[in-house]
Amino acid sequence: MMAGRFISLEGGEGVGKSTQLDALAKALEGRGLEVKVTREPGGSAGAEAIRKLLLEGEEKRWSPRAEALLFAAARADHIEKTIKPALANGTWVLSDRFLDSSLAYQGEAGGLGIEAVRDLHRFGSLDFLPDRTLVLQLPVGEGGLRAKHRDGDEGDRIGSRPPAYHASVDKGFATMAEKEPQRVKLIDASGSAETVTARLLYALGDLLP
């Protein structure tokens, strides 16, 4: 049995990840692949418990370092309990966010430094990485407007942070794409949903059977 592939879908707030995750899963299943959709933080019982700690409560509930440690702990459980077993069974795993979100949000925007957060991942998850990371991007400000329209004024702890924070998040994703161009691909998220899905599939072309 061939091992599965692990694909993460990334991006800032309001870029359409949920829509595209569903569309991409259906497209891959249409090609005869078995697909498992998961998310971060979450994706396993332990990680889902940590998700509540991370996304609920007041803005200053956790320091940036504590927040990064919680994400790293959730990810380690997610990989061990969900992702690796599915890959071993030949399943393609699609994750709504993974390591690169921590690098962009806590590392770049949170001021901890990308390499410091990557070191947590090296320790907690032995630097386990996706086969491909697809980062959805929109023009500056458009994603935030979409997210505000979707969520109103009450987002989660992280999504409701100010525009300058989210601009730094976008910068972090761009940095990862520059450092690891084979793994991290920036995808234009403008246009119709069908057009964006086609761009995602094109970016996976070399991995598809």
pLDDT tens-place values along the chain, 209 residues long: 678 999 999 999 889 999 999 999 999 999 999 999 999 999 999 999 999 999 888 888 899 899 999 999 999 999 999 999 999 999 999 999 999 999 999 999 999 999 999 999 999 999 999 999 999 999 865 544 454 444 444 556 566 678 789 899 999 999 999 999 999 999 999 999 999 999 999 999 999 98
The long-range contacts involving 49-53, CB below 8 angstroms and separated by at least 24 positions, are 50/74, 50/77
Measuring CA to CA, how many Å separate 90 from each of 32, 76, 124, 144?
12, 21, 24, 37
State which CATH number among 3.40.50.620, 2.160.10.10, 1.10.540.10, 3.40.50.300 fits the domain covering 6-203.
3.40.50.300
